[in-house]
């Protein structure tokens, strides 16, 4: 009869050779002879971890620790099992115990880093990884992991330093150049990021991940056609890559190749039906085409995207699904920007017509204005105490739930109202100005990721001020006001009213006394449209989905005219057309 040591040696040999069934049988034979054999229990736990059975692994590792409670390897591998089971705090405690027993145990540091990484405690993970590098100073993989964690911890500069150290050790490391590109992109050093990716492609010209990363940086640099080529090359090498198809969809949309954008988004969804960003990309492209039936349904995926710009809201009531709420109270909350709120509050009267008592929660900059909205019930500032309600819903989900189509948008204007006394005050204030009275808004919120494309800036608007017979009024708020400090002297026909505007109720009262508002695609454009004021909105080459394709009018605001860019970033021809139209209006 074989000894326990011989049985154990045979089982380990089978295990190391990848023969899991004979290895398991061997460990079981050992345990049949000695049930508290710590290493047999431990090795069996590792085998279960390797075959994906974390629950069985934990059971074995707990038994191993009962036999040998001071063995650091058992605690470390127990942490792996706990981490895979999602029991993160227990996994962290197991790592700490392993390191308490053996402070220089490198494998325990690996598990500690993985646990902290999964817990998104990136700063702590960085510190643990730095300790691991002291134990494994020549490990390129350890330095690569450190760089990745530094990037996640928003320490891009430190990540670059770590990657340079790695490249000193491994000058042909494609992964180092890839992560260098990621870090440089985080810092806005796009040319250097592009150079890093191109260097890596020299070593691995067919790598689909590299091609996608390069394409994304090219998008950041507004080089969409070349980005599209990169994504096509990536797809040719990895035809099942949902990510590559998603990137292609976004780039095609930016080039106004909308049908191609739809097709690419559909392909991304085929390969990964749960990819929220792909559904959102499909939604935007379909909505731009005017397909509101499918587009709005797909748009409901937006809040599941990892980078969704609005914070997740937690209410105790259920989400409204469009079912009958007659005689009950519905909390409607806004999301994304103030322009979205101003555009979609038009749907609240439809809820009232269904016999629903509506409470609107919105940005505090809008509460005073929206309190004046005819037929609207209570308005509450965001995060203020809420009255009792039976269900809640996002304002931007109302078009979907209420069956919006291109031909049934409730576009009767005005659907917003001003404060009568405030409007009269501004009427007296502006009565002395001669000629056509025109309000100007030249920039949006810079925190919006595409703001650099949609905001022309005051310099682009400057030629308008040379049109005779017009009094211009600056309605700009926010960071866009900095343009006033750099543009130099402005003509006497321009009056800056920005310092006198406290919130959107003030802007609305001023707009009510103007003949025309000329604005970029931002919140005041929607305010002017909702007030029924004559409005000219200048749009970037690839505008928001709500403006559809090609049109100079809009289904949302009957008093609005659209002026579209013909070439990305080139505002001069757009404002030249606006100036020409303004000159005609000023003479009428």
pLDDT the model gives residue 313: 82
The answer to which of 22-31, 238-247, 533-542 has the lowest mean pLDDT is 22-31
Among candidate residues 253, 277, 308, the one where a domain is terminated: 308
Q: What are the start-end ranges of the H helices in 238-347?
A: 242-254, 258-271, 276-289, 292-299, 338-344
pLDDT the model gives residue 310: 78
pLDDT the model gives residue 454: 86
- Assigned domain for 320 exists: no
Report whether pLDDT(588) > 70: no
> Is the same domain home to 506 and 534?
yes
pLDDT the model gives residue 377: 76
Among candidate residues 401, 433, 458, the one where a domain is terminated: 401
DSSP string computed for 317-361: SPBP-S---TTSEEEEE--S-HHHHHHHGGGHHHHHHTTPEEEEE
> Is the same domain home to 527 and 481?
yes
pLDDT the model gives residue 477: 94
Report whether pLDDT(565) > 80: yes
- Assigned domain for 536 exists: yes
- Assigned domain for 381 exists: yes
pLDDT the model gives residue 484: 93
- Assigned domain for 120 exists: no
CA-based diameter of the chain, in Å?
A: 111
- Assigned domain for 412 exists: no
The pLDDT tens digits of the residues spanning 121-161 come to 999 999 999 999 999 999 999 999 999 999 999 999 999 99
Among candidate residues 351, 369, 401, the one where a domain is terminated: 401
Cβ–Cβ < 8 Å for 99, 112: yes
Hunting for tokens 């930016």 — which residue is that? Answer: 254
The percentage of residues in the chain with a pLDDT greater than 90, rounded to a whole number, is 86
The pLDDT-based confidence of 456 (bands split at 50, 70, 90) is very high
> Is the same domain home to 377 and 467?
no
Report whether pLDDT(212) > 80: yes
Cβ–Cβ < 8 Å for 475, 498: yes
- Assigned domain for 433 exists: yes
* Distance (Å, whole) CA 196 – CA 182: 9
CATH label of the domain that carries residue 236: 1.25.40.10
The pLDDT tens digits of the residues spanning 163-193 come to 999 999 998 888 999 999 999 999 999 999 9
> Is the same domain home to 342 and 441?
no
For the chain, what is the domain count?
3
What is the chain's mean pLDDT, rounded?
93
Report whether pLDDT(66) > 90: yes
Dihedral of CA atoms 129, 134, 140, 145 in degrees, nearest 10, equals: 0
* Distance (Å, whole) CA 296 – CA 274: 17
> Is the same domain home to 211 and 351?
no
Mean pLDDT along residues 25-52: 92
pLDDT the model gives residue 375: 72
> Is the same domain home to 282 and 426?
no
Mean pLDDT along residues 204-228: 94
The reported pTM is 0.85
> Is the same domain home to 440 and 392?
no
Mean pLDDT along residues 385-396: 94
> Is the same domain home to 436 and 516?
yes
> Is the same domain home to 554 and 443?
yes
CATH label of the domain that carries residue 354: 3.40.50
Mean pLDDT along residues 503-532: 97
* Distance (Å, whole) CA 448 – CA 336: 9
> Is the same domain home to 337 and 473?
no
* Owning domain of residue 213: 206-308
pLDDT the model gives residue 312: 80
Tally of CB atoms within 10 A around 560: 23
The pLDDT tens digits of the residues spanning 470-511 come to 999 999 999 999 999 999 899 999 999 999 999 999 999 999
Which of 582, 478, 577 has the alpha carbon at shortest distance from 523? Answer: 478
pLDDT the model gives residue 1: 65
Cβ–Cβ < 8 Å for 395, 333: yes
The pLDDT tens digits of the residues spanning 413-449 come to 999 999 999 999 999 999 999 999 999 999 988 777 7
CATH label of the domain that carries residue 575: 3.40.50.2000
Cβ–Cβ < 8 Å for 482, 498: no
Cα–Cα distances in Å, from 387 out to 321, 322, 365, 536? 20, 21, 20, 39
Mean pLDDT along residues 363-378: 87
- Assigned domain for 136 exists: no
Hunting for tokens 């009262």 — which residue is that? Answer: 509
Mean pLDDT along residues 371-399: 90
* Distance (Å, whole) CA 148 – CA 145: 5
- Assigned domain for 371 exists: yes
pLDDT the model gives residue 444: 87
> Is the same domain home to 233 and 376?
no
Which of 415, 477, 454 has the alpha carbon at shortest distance from 546? Answer: 454
> Is the same domain home to 234 and 284?
yes
pLDDT the model gives residue 403: 95
């Amino acid at each position: 009869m074989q000894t326990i040591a011989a049985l154990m040696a045979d089982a380990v040999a089978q295990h190391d050779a990848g023969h899991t069934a004979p290895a398991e049988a061997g460990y079981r034979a050992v345990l049949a002879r000695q049930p508290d054999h710590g290493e047999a229990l431990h090795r069996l736990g590792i085998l279960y971890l390797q075959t994906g059975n974390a629950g069985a692994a934990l059971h074995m590792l707990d038994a191993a620790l009962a036999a040998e409670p001071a063995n650091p390897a058992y605690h470390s591998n127990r942490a792996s099992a706990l981490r895979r089971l999602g029991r993160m705090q227990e996994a962290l405690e197991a790592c700490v115990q392993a390191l308490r027993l053996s402070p220089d145990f490198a494998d325990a540091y690996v598990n500690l880093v993985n646990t902290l990484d999964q817990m998104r405690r990136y700063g702590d993970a960085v510190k643990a990884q730095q300790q691991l590098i002291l134990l494994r100073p020549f490990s390129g993989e350890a330095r690569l992991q450190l760089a990745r964690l530094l990037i996640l911890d928003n320490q891009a500069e430190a990540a670059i330093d770590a990657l340079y150290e790695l490249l000193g050790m491994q000058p042909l490391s494609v992964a180092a150049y890839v992560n260098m590109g990621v870090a440089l992109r985080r810092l806005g050093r796009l040319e250097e990021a592009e150079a890093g990716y191109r260097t890596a492609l020299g070593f691995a010209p067919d790598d689909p991940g590299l091609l996608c990363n390069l394409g994304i940086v090219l998008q950041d640099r507004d080089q969409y056609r070349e980005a599209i080529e990169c994504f096509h090359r990536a797809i040719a090498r990895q035809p099942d890559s949902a990510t590559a198809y998603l990137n292609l969809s976004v780039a095609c949309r930016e080039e106004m190749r909308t049908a191609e954008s739809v097709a690419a988004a559909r392909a991304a969804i085929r390969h990964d039906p749960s990819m929220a960003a792909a559904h959102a990309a499909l939604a935007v492209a379909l909505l731009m085409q005017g397909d509101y039936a499918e587009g709005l349904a797909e748009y409901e995926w937006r809040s599941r995207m990892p980078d969704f710009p609005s914070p997740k809201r937690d209410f105790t009531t259920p989400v409204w699904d469009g079912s009958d709420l007659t005689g009950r109270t519905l909390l409607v909350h806004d999301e994304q920007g103030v322009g979205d709120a101003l555009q979609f509050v038009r749907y609240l009267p439809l809820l009232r017509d269904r016999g629903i008592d509506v409470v609107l929660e919105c940005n505090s900059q809008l509460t005073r204005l929206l309190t004046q909205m005819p037929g609207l019930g209570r308005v509450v500032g965001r995060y203020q105490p809420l009255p009792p309600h039976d269900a809640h819903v996002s304002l931007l989900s109302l078009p979907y739930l209420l069956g919006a189509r291109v031909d049934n948008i409730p576009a009767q204007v005005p659907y917003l109202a001003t404060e009568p006394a405030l409007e009269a005050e501004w009427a007296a204030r502006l009565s002395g100005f001669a000629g056509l009275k025109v309000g100007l808004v030249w920039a949006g919120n810079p925190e919006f990721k595409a703001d650099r494309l949609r905001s022309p800036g005051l310099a682009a608007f400057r030629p308008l001020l040379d049109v005779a017979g017009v009094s211009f009024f600056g309605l700009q708020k926010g960071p866009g006001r900095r343009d006033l400090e750099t543009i130099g002297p402005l003509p006497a026909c321009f009056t800056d009213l920005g310092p006198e505007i406290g919130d959107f109720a003030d802007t609305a009262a001023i707009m009510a006394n103007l003949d025309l508002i000329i604005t970029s695609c931002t919140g005041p454009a929607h305010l002017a449209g909702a007030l029924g004021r004559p409005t000219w909105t200048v749009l970037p080459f690839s505008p928001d989905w709500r403006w559809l394709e090609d049109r100079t009018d809009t289904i949302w605001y009957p008093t609005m005219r659209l002026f579209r860019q013909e070439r990305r970033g080139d505002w001069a021809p757009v404002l030249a057309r606006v100036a020409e139209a303004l000159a005609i209006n000023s003479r009428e």
